[in-house]
A and B are shown apart, each in its own frame.
Chain A
């Protein structure tokens, strides 16, 4: 899951630092931890499926792929005909964007680093 959030964060802002991306990963992880339990279960299955999906196609699990291959897989799921794949990417994209903008572009700067996430 961290690899997916990291990829999405790079997509949102290619210049985001590794430290900022790590904070965002932690924020998204914390959110997933407290999301409704039946959704969390579904999301955990999806995360496993997402990670293994690239094995037959690209020869490695998602978290081991390079950035370009990761982006290709995210793109494929984002435009998939299967609604659950699109929903999964939309969910992570929303929370990654919120986390990253809060981290780097907050209006008054007061929130930066506030979340030990």
Chain B
């Protein structure tokens, strides 16, 4: 192996997702010497069509293949490029509900957290990465969900997005990190190294030494060593605990990974709801939160094809009726997982378990979703769960199992968090209330790992708000 490239910086930020970008930008703005490294490539939003094969291969971790194993399974996806998950997600935006922050305060001892104290942090992030509502009427597929909710007297909402809509409502641009915070970070003198993965951290003579590899455009690897006074780890909720554990930091690290487990259905309507070029759907049903929430998924033909891949004749069905179909989901907060490194392998193993109650909530949520879509005049609802029959009548809902069997791969997630919770309750947490790792000088966590529990709502707003809050605190205290 060749000799490592050696670099020095005052502050190293590892990972450039929403947590890393918000932290890095504020640190650079405060005049610090900041180097942000990112394992994936630095690509523009337009480098690959959204939700395409090319995007999966270039911007997702492991090509979009991540599976939590155990008696039950859960498949999830994460971004792996400059901007992390914000580059591949839809940017549906919700601030953290009050009751979630309150439970963090009560159960994990997080100091000074609440809707009031978080407001300024949310607002500041929303000014940089703009959050907007659809200017005109949302897509028909989206409105269908709302109509179903209204017919049943359920509470629903139109979620805004991290998106800058064109005034005519015909398009716009996602407000991903590469479009917003990364630019600001660079403008303020921050240095960004993409294709650079950190494998280990160690403390030597009062400084942190990060070792890993960097790749050139042709994919050739070169070892690197970065020396810094302070490190902000923001590799996302799975890779952060993996990196810390490889580095010997294990106290409450990687023991409590959580997801928003999700099950999908395809609803077929008697008229078109899903035209090419429609804006992404935005309605969500809030009635059953915090137990479960419901919403609309991207319903392009490849997604419909995958959702219906168990069905005989799916190809013709999609060919003929994709415009009348939409994919909808129900998502809960159940299940808990661990993150562990396996000797000889670089990808961490995630093991998940669901309680009977978790599976019951998923089963109940799935029934309610079918009920809501039937109330929205869906002629039939097709659960994307092996062995489940189509629901084409009220009785069909009654026949659905009350509990879900998650061993067949039907449970997925796009939200991961809580693997290194923050707070003063050292029995449950990996860091203090502001992300400083217990017992480690100059080491901070700055991503979704810190969120003590699932957010119930879309999490990116919380990841950004918490990172904003924590890094301002660190700057104010001069990292003391």
**Interface on A for B, CB 8 Å cutoff?**
12-13, 27, 30-31, 33-39, 83, 86-87, 90-91, 93-94, 97-102, 105-108, 110-111, 114-115, 117
Contacts and interface: CB of A to CB of B under 8 A. Distances in A.
Interface stretch (B96-104, B131-139, B148-156, B314-322): B314-322
B301 A107 contact: yes
Given A36-B65, A94-B306, A115 B349 contact: no
Contacts of B63: 30-31, 33-35
A105 B305 contact: yes
B316 to A, nearest CB: 9
A100 B305 contact: yes
Contact of A93 (B49, B65, B309, B322): B309
Interface on chain A toward B: helix, strand, loop, or mixed SS? helix
B250 interface: no
B169 interface: no
Contacts, number: 99
Contact of B67 (A13, A39, A83, A107): A39
B389 interface: no
Interface string B30-64: 00000000000000000011001110110000111
B326 to A, nearest CB: 13
B21 to A, nearest CB: 24
Given A83-B407, A97-B305, A98-B306, A111 B53 contact: yes
Nearest to B64: A31
Given A35-B65, A83-B407, A115-B54, A101 B276 contact: no
A5 to B, nearest CB: 13
Contact of B54 (A12, A86, A114): A114
Classify chain B: how many residues form its interface, as a range.
Answer: 35 or more
B53 A99 contact: yes
B212 interface: no
Nearest to A116: B54
Contact of B49 (A27, A97, A99, A114): A114
Contacts of B57: 27, 30-31, 34, 115, 117
A37 B54 contact: no
A38 B409 CA distance: 18
Given A31-B65, A37-B346, A114-B53, A106 B407 contact: no
A115 B62 contact: no
B319 A105 contact: yes
A102 B54 CA distance: 10
B306 A38 contact: no
